[in-house]
Structure 1
Amino acid sequence: MTHERPTASLREYVAGATALLAEAGVPSPGHDARALAAHALGRDRLEYLVGVDLPDTFAAAFAELVERRRRREPLQHLLGRTTFRHLDLLVRPGVFVPRPETEVVAQHAIDAAREVARAGRAPVVVDLCCGAGGIALALATEVERVRVLAVDASPEAVALTRANAERVGADLEVLVGDVRDVELLAALDGAVDVLVANPPYIPPDAVPVDPEVRDHDPQLALYGGGADGLEVPRAVVRAAVRLLRPAGVFVMEHAEVQAAAARQAALAAGLREVTSFDDLTGRPRGVRAVR
């Protein structure tokens, strides 16, 4: 007489995956296991782990996803999407994945653009090094009558930003461009109200520890150039001085250890009211200044 092995429940699958991911050093194993289970079921999220009928294809699909995450492939790449502020954005390998801490950078830019709108003008905003488009699309969807231009040196990033603009129904101008090009957006010289950027800024000797970043985010979006990683950020500052109108606002993300250097770069370029601001964890991760 043969006995069929009982089929595992969704709760058991998630518990087993959580243990495997924890053993592999994944930072949030429980969250990731649930997210992968939902994805394998064709859902955005799992509200409950009981009362869910599992299709015959679930076990194999879930096992493959968990194994890829165990090898530290980014969760966002496996899901094909991520959340940034109120937006659900597509992500793709080869383009920098938006991070929650950058939402604070977006908020500073949104606040500045809203001040312009309250004064009765349609704000003009430029997002340099736009990546997947998180900051630009947050501005385009949260500020009334705003004109947003997004620029990135990566054609893949520009294509993804365009796809995300279509996904969220936002009106956005997106183009390939290098922030070090002194002619970039020259037609807007002195006409921009807010310039915001999350440029590459990692120094060459500060290789990220997390495999998800080190092995999967594109180097173009990580390393800022020069011995201190600030070659591209300094080019962003120069672009801001050229593009911003008088009283225009500059906002840029940087590494925690670069706060003083970022402020100095802004001051040296002639910007005023230069201050640092903290990210969600209380670390100084951004600089704000006025033209």
Structure 2
Amino acid sequence: MRVRFVRAWQAERVSRQPLRLAILDATRLLEAAGVPSPRTDAELLAAHVVGVERTRLGLVPLVDAEVIDRYRSLVDQRAKRIPLQHITGVAVMGEIELAVGPGVFVPRPETELLLAWALAVLADVSTRPPVVMDLCTGSGALALAIAHARPDAVVHAVELEPKALAWARRNADTLAGQGDTPIRLHHGDVTDRSLLTELEGGVDLVVSNPPYVPEDAFLDPEVADHDPASALFGGADGLSVITPMISNIARWLRIGGALAIEHDDSNGGQVATLLRERRVFGEVAEHPDLAGKPRFVVARRVATEAEAARRA
């Protein structure tokens, strides 16, 4: 009986394979395919397959052959430059996970900096529930991350594209089911002067990650082939949505209210200039991302239109 048990244990051990070696093979494959972060993506896919945090992969030395086969299948997809988030089905923003896939823009880590700034601004609004707007919400990333961090906030999220709005609604329903404060989703064009007139002068914070890529920009295959063009491109200079959107932001913000707009690294100075030219705004500041590239511009509503006209 003992001999049979040992032989069965040995056979099972032989059928199991080192996960570390599979990750090394995957890293080489992804590097050859031109994936920007091959080791990171190889480890994230492995963590997804075995169901552990990336930092705990070392606790899973051996896995079944079927797990290796599944892992290699996902790595092959990533080598074809399918976005990592489309393969795993999730993206992260702040403390929440979002479902993403074809038809919606995949949130980027750079936007975490804008989120952190927004939450710091909201920390000063403590005597009443803050009113927040997320323009071009896409998957709902910013709106839902803010609602998660500030359950007392009244968060409005606006999206024009029906497919993206469906992803946002799915994520909103999921997080509401987990106990988060529901957000208010609106199907609309953020440049439309008749949009949400009932919120005029009553918003504490506006955030936006709008379409801002210039039309002639070179993009990686993960972006060019998979993110919706309507969520990427903002005309020849990347400002075709941002420019008219600023007028709407001006009418929504209350005096003292703040805004943050993410932009292409080529047009941050132009966005800052657009805000300074609208004299209702002050405290205009440009913020870089972790790579030091210009990434988002912030400002505050400091005057009424009448006061701004007098100053002019």
**Is residue 77 from structure 1 mapped to residue 66 from structure 2 by the alignment?**
no
Could you say which structure has the larger radius of gyration?
2
| 2:4 aligned residue | none
- How do 1:178-189 and structure 2 match up within 5 A? 178-189=189-200
| 1:235 aligned residue | 244
Q: Alpha-carbon deviation of 1:51?
A: 4.8
Unaligned runs of 5+ in 2: 1-10, 302-312
Give the residue type in structure 2 aligned to 1:214. Answer: A
- How do 1:59-98 and structure 2 match up within 5 A? 59-98=68-107
- Are 1:89 and 1:164, in contact at CA under 8 Å, matched by a contact in 2? yes
Q: Alpha-carbon deviation of 1:46?
A: 6.3
- How do 1:40-55 and structure 2 match up within 5 A? 40-43=49-52, 45=54, 47-49=56-58, 51-55=60-64
| 1:140 aligned residue | 147
Greater shift, 29-38 or 44-53, is seen at 44-53
| 1:256 aligned residue | 265
- Are 2:17 and 2:65, in contact at CA under 8 Å, matched by a contact in 1? no
- How do 1:95-174 and structure 2 match up within 5 A? 95-117=104-126, 120-168=127-175, 169-174=180-185
Partner Cα separation in structure 1 for residue 181 and residue 76 of structure 2: 36
- Are 1:34 and 1:46, in contact at CA under 8 Å, matched by a contact in 2? no
Greater shift, 178-187 or 83-92, is seen at 83-92
**Is residue 289 from structure 1 mapped to residue 296 from structure 2 by the alignment?**
no
Partner Cα separation in structure 1 for residue 60 and residue 193 of structure 2: 60
**Is residue 25 from structure 1 mapped to residue 51 from structure 2 by the alignment?**
no
Q: Deviations over 1:69-111 (max 9, x none)?
A: 0011111110101222221221112111111111111122222
Partner Cα separation in structure 2 for residue 137 and residue 244 of structure 1: 20
- Are 1:113 and 1:125, in contact at CA under 8 Å, matched by a contact in 2? no
Q: Deviations over 1:155-186 (max 9, x none)?
A: 22222222222333332111211112111111
The TM-score with structure 1 as length reference comes to: 0.91
Greater shift, 94-103 or 168-177, is seen at 168-177
- Are 2:238 and 2:264, in contact at CA under 8 Å, matched by a contact in 1? no
Unaligned runs of 5+ in 1: none
- Are 2:137 and 2:209, in contact at CA under 8 Å, matched by a contact in 1? yes
| 2:226 aligned residue | 216
Aligned-partner SS, 1:229: coil
The TM-score with structure 2 as length reference comes to: 0.85
Partner Cα separation in structure 1 for residue 148 and residue 51 of structure 2: 27
Percent sequence identity over aligned pairs? 41
Q: Alpha-carbon deviation of 1:212?
A: 0.9
- Give RMSD over aligned pairs: 2.0
Query: Across the two proteins, how many residue pairs are aligned to each other?
Result: 284
